[in-house]
Amino acid sequence: MPYNADIEKRINRITARWKNISSKKMFGGICCLLNGNMVCGVYKDFLILRLGEKEAAAALEKAHVTPFDITGRPMKGWVMVSEEGMAREADLKSWLQKARKFVNTLPAK
């Protein structure tokens, strides 16, 4: 199943204002990199987010959020959000800001 290009477009509308953002095909989808670090992306019909372990644990308590697991081994600090969990632009923007906040704590690559 190809990734949902509509989610990619929605992400791009928000991240276009960010500095040092780029994209790369990964996981059979697309990932956005901030300062060379993966921050978010699209896998099938899911938004994937790098939140760090603490924020990811909190996010998993919310509806429409699951661990980012495409191999049988969940990636620590990452979550997947279904379309229902980011239906409104404000929801998507909030998720992306959380990921951006975490990735800004990492050294640039």
Q: Cβ neighbours of residue 25 under 8 Å, at least 6 residues apart?
A: 31
Cβ atoms of 70 and 23 within 8 Å: the answer is no
**pLDDT(1) > 80:** no
Dig out the tokens for 18 from the structure: 């960010």
- pTM of the predicted model as reported, rounded to 2 decimal places: 0.94
| Rounded Cα gap, residues 19 and 93, in angstroms | 16
Domain that includes residue 27, residue range: 5-103
Residue 45, in any domain of the structure: yes
The total domain count for the chain is 1
Q: What is the mean pLDDT of the chain?
A: 96
DSSP symbol at 58: H
| Rounded Cα gap, residues 30 and 54, in angstroms | 24
For residue 58, the cross-strand partners are none
**pLDDT(20) > 80:** yes
CATH number at residue 81: 3.90.1150.30
